[in-house]
Amino acid sequence: MTLTLGDAPLSSRPRDTVNYRIDGPAHRLLLQPFPRRVRAVLRGETVLDTTHGMLLHESNLLPQLYVPRGDVRDGVLNRTDHHTHCPFKGEASYWSVTAGGQTADNAVWSYLDPLPEASWLINYVGPYWHLMDAWLDEDEEVTGHLRDPYHRVDVRSTSRHVRVVAGEEVIAESRRAILLSETGLPNRFYLPAEDVRGDLLELSGTHTVCPYKGIASYRSLRTPSGLIVDAAWCYPEPLDGAQAIRGYLCLAAEGVQTWVDDIRLEP
């Protein structure tokens, strides 16, 4: 995310505050080795096992894993008639993956004759992450997707005055918040649950997955003017690196404003 999204160096519109120019196309590709063993599992069977995986950093997209074709297990791939075209990499051919009696249709692709500027993809396949049952980074199951080595999360205690309001209603107020800074995203203030109006929150069925923080559980906010859906979230079991936000709530949604030291934060 650091290199490819927003105004990062490999995005289509990088930041102006630099003393260099990139001589090349506005849409940029960077292929780099991923430093650890990666495995994909379908129906309890390992269908991909590599120590030579690569991450493709591509403008305006999340990094994509590519692996040598030889690191996909023999006999699990079945060529299909599906094709897609990328103006920056060429025409992609697709294969379904079959294991344990289950088939994941068009689960991997490869550029058999890539464009010259992406010629280094010729012996690699790209898997769709969500079509596998599980992924392992070394021996640990991965949440969401592989972590981008250029992406980081910093968590810091802060005594700044944080106040969250919806309309005229004060929803939360604290001087013992946790500030979470995450690459490419706005700062988020997480507040102790006891500093938030719990009587206004209703449990939501929404959950999201972050490979850097874990699985988020959401709450909706009941205000005099109506329900603001999924206005607050927390990480009951945060991943390492974000353990300090366990038991804390973050509030951010349309109709919710966060003020820090009497300065309103941008959404």
Q: Which residue, among 118, 1, 26, has the nearest Cα to 66 in the 3D structure? A: 118
Identify whether the C-beta of residue 257 lies closer than 8 Å to the C-beta of residue 162. no
Q: Where are the domains of the chain?
A: 29-141, 153-264
Q: Please tell me the pTM assigned to this model.
A: 0.87
Tell whether the model's pLDDT for residue 200 goes beyond 70: yes
How confident is the model at residue 80, as a pLDDT?
98
Choose which CATH entry (2.170.150.40, 3.30.365.10, 2.120.10.70, 3.90.700.10) describes domain 153-264: 2.170.150.40
pLDDT tier, 1 (very low <50, low <70, confident <90, very high otherwise): low
Long-range contact list for 225-231, CB < 8 A, 24+ apart?
225/167, 225/255, 227/202, 228/166, 228/253, 228/254, 228/255, 228/256, 229/204, 229/253, 230/204, 230/206, 231/166, 231/255, 231/256
Mean pLDDT along residues 244-254? 97
Tell whether the model's pLDDT for residue 267 goes beyond 80: no
Q: CATH topology of 29-141 equal to that of 153-264?
A: yes
Tell whether the model's pLDDT for residue 14 goes beyond 90: no
How confident is the model at residue 48, as a pLDDT?
98
State how far the Cα of 159 lies from the Cα of 178, in Å rounded to an integer: 9
pLDDT tier, 21 (very low <50, low <70, confident <90, very high otherwise): confident
Strands 29-33 and 124-127: unpaired
pLDDT tier, 118 (very low <50, low <70, confident <90, very high otherwise): very high
Query: What's the CATH code, domain 29-141?
Result: 2.170.150.40
Q: What is the mean pLDDT of the chain?
A: 95
State how far the Cα of 163 lies from the Cα of 161, in Å rounded to an integer: 7
The single residue listed with the structure tokens 């495995």 is 39
3-class SS of residue 7: coil
How confident is the model at residue 134, as a pLDDT?
97
